[in-house]
Amino acid sequence: METLVNRFWKSAPKAALLLSLAAGSALQSCNKTGAGEGGGAAAGLDADAASKVYVAPGKHDELYSFLSGGFNGQVSVYGIPSGRLLKIIPVFSQFPENGYGYNEETKAMLQTSHGFIPWDDLHHPKLSRKDGMTDGRWLFVNGNNTPRVARVDLSTFETVEIMEIPNSAGNHCSPYPTNNNEYVLAGTRFSVPLDMKGGTADVSMEDYKDKFRGSISFIKVDQEKGDMELDFQVLVPGFDYDLANGGKGPSNDWVFFTTYNTEKAGTLKELGASQNDRDYLAAINWKLAAKYAAEGKAKEMPANYYHNKLDHGTHSAKSTIKKKVRYLLPEDCPGMMYLLPAPKSPHGIDVDPTGEFMVVNGKLASTLPVFSFSKMMKAIENKQFDGEKNGIPVLKYEAVLQGEVKEPGLGPLHTEFDGKGNAYSTMFVSSEVVKWSLKDLQVKDRMPVYYSPGHLMIPGGDTREPYGKYLVVMNKITKDRFLPTGPELMHSAQLIDISGDKMKMLLDFPTVAEPHYAQGIKADLIAPKSVKFFKLDENSHPQAAKKESDVSVTRKGNVVTVKMTAIRSHLTPDNIEGIQVGDTVNFHVTNLEQDWDVPHGFAVMGANNAETLIMPGATQSLKWIPKKTGVYPFYCTDFCSALHQEMQGYVRVSPKGSSVPISFSTGKKKPVPPAATASLK
């Protein structure tokens, strides 16, 4: 593989690059379809790989890693180095496994100005930070399709907040926390014609060049609670904003964004957006932007976007609809934004741990340019400009360039750092990870990966002090790496040992849907704070029944409220009568357990949604509308005890207008409660 790559590189005419990019897998290895060895199974393999990834039964992994689920709208959590799947956290997608987005408590999380949206394309997880280091408190992620930013609480591994982003379309360039979570930044991939009322205008695509704009949202984060709030937006020229990363150390106040389609082509972008030799790296001084906004430079426009939050007391989400947004225009804010010429159609932008070097991964470029932050500051000071674009100064390429990595490989997409002066870049087309030195910009090592890598992740590789022991590379194409499973295979990730001079391949593992990016963090920053159960006496859900004697079934018109409890091994009540066809029955189930890892599930026959899974101490609600008379079983879905199979009950459904009174019991009939009697006709 390696020789093939080198040979290809030496003989490849530049024009072949575009072609092979389009083909994507020009250099992929043999394509065996049967069982047995995949292509390149032994290339770069560490002779001691097995012991390096082996985590003995009962032992814990060294690190957590959070991989985005891409088009499944979730985040999956893996142990490193074992590659064991630890959890799937639903964020933007309904999740039948635990009822997220199906039960009444979490439906509000998925509300948007477009209505209830049970899906999104989740690309980039970013851990919260303290002094430029990940702190294990929260994970921010983006929804690409219907622009949203979400926050996962890492004490419970639950999505606790989702905020819609107005004036955005394709929230790809997102989310990027500054070094102390002062702000999380989110940029648009697709520029759109803004109607300046928070929506898009009804204009012809012919007007692309003149009327389309992008936006960069500044989301303020509460330092204690993590709650987000859209402070203001910067309305930027109508380019496509692809990826971003924050500065650190000397560049702490800056965030950098790659742009493409600075040609502003409105159609056939694969050609139109590649006309100019250079696009831009946009540099924004976020601190100065915040200052301008605070000092009254921001204007206000109407908007309409949802902000959904989960309350830990009630275990329920609530939506707030926001009606305005503040914005800044770069042309009115001197010193806030500059453009640095970058190789055409760049993808990732990555800032090294010292904060001095910005690596621009130009997927169509034959070299990998490294910009210098101190040179950028000097160029700004000396006004070394190459004109301006939409009122934003363009810096001279030569003035900001530190140097170029020559012949790094084909199709560079992303770079991370080991904290020892080395950078690692993924080459999509030549299907390899390339190690190079920040000191002399020379390539030091190459590792073939299978196949066509997108992002790569070194735990803490985007922070001040990376944990330079492992590298996880996330590949776009799997082909023959695993046993065939029909036309679609799981995506694959590979774990590489980067502790020595040479990279060593340790492990392949399948991922859930498409991991675009990942974050890794030492286990001891999260594990000790992990919540084991919710305290029942802190449960403030309005329909909670905190002991079995509190359960009830009450009718108000055609709405029946069932307050139910679950504890090993029965549901109370387990016999319910007096329900009528067409009633809306809300089962509110409280899990009375006060012990770790004892959820109970609840499902009723014919419910046209998922089960709900109730954590110890919590209350969750399932809505059910019976359509036919009869007796319907319900049961606990999560095997909880030796008598789990006995954890079941029945609801009797009578015809509409029936005289069967509401009654409920467990063990023996209880008298009909006065409230229920009163509402019976």
The footprint of Cu ion (CB under 5 A) covers 600, 636, 640, 647
For Cu ion, the closer CB: 368 or 636: 636
Residue 352, classed as helix, strand or coil, is coil
Query: Least distance from C-beta 649 to Cu ion, angstroms?
Result: 12
């409230």: which residue's tokens? Answer: 675
> Which residue type does 617 have?
G
Q: How near is the Cβ of 129 to Cu ion at its closest, in Å?
A: 40
Toward Cu ion, which CB reaches closer, 28 or 565?
A: 565
Q: 74, 512 in Cβ contact below 8 A?
A: yes
Residue (568 or 623) nearer to Cu ion, CB: 568
Report, in Å, the least distance between residue 346 CB and Cu ion.
53
- Rounded least distance, CB 644 to Cu ion, Å: 5
Strands (E), 97-201: 111-112, 115-116, 126-130, 133-143, 148-153, 158-164, 173-177, 183-187, 192-193
Classify each residue of 76-85 as buried b or exposed e, where b means 16 or more C-beta atoms within 10 Å of its C-beta: bbbbbbbbee
We find the least distance from the C-beta atom of residue 680 to Cu ion, in angstroms, to be 32
Q: What are phi and psi of 627, to 5 degrees?
A: -110, -15
| Shortest distance in whole angstroms from residue 105 CB to Cu ion | 19
CB–CB of 120/110 below 8 Å?
A: no
Cβ 491 vs Cβ 474: under 8 Å: yes
Q: How far is the CB of 602 from Cu ion (least distance, A)?
A: 9
Tell the smallest beta-carbon distance from residue 632 to Cu ion (Å). Answer: 18
Identify whether the C-beta of residue 159 lies closer than 8 Å to the C-beta of residue 109. yes
- Cβ closest to Cu ion, residue 35 vs residue 642: 642
> Could you please report the per-residue DSSP string of 514-532?
----EEEEEGGGTGGG---
Give residues with Cβ within 8 angstroms of 470, minimum separation 6.
Answer: 63, 80, 81, 458, 459, 495, 496, 497, 498, 506, 520
Nearer to Cu ion, 189 or 588 (CB): 588
User: In terms of CB distance, is 410 or 567 closer to Cu ion?
Assistant: 567
Q: Cβ distance 336 to 320 under 8 Å? A: no
Minimal distance in Å, beta carbon 634 to Cu ion?
12
Q: What is the secondary structure of 385-430 as a DSSP string?
A: EEEEETTEEEEPHHHHEEEEEES--SSEEEEEE-SSSEEEEEETTT
Which residues make Cβ contacts (< 8 Å) with residue 170, sequence separation at least 6?
Answer: 144, 145, 147, 188, 189, 190, 240
Nearer Cβ to Cu ion, position 195 or 548? 548
Q: Which is nearer to Cu ion, 553 or 647 (CB)?
A: 647
Query: Strand, coil or helix: what is 612?
Result: strand
Q: Which is nearer to Cu ion, 116 or 639 (CB)?
A: 639
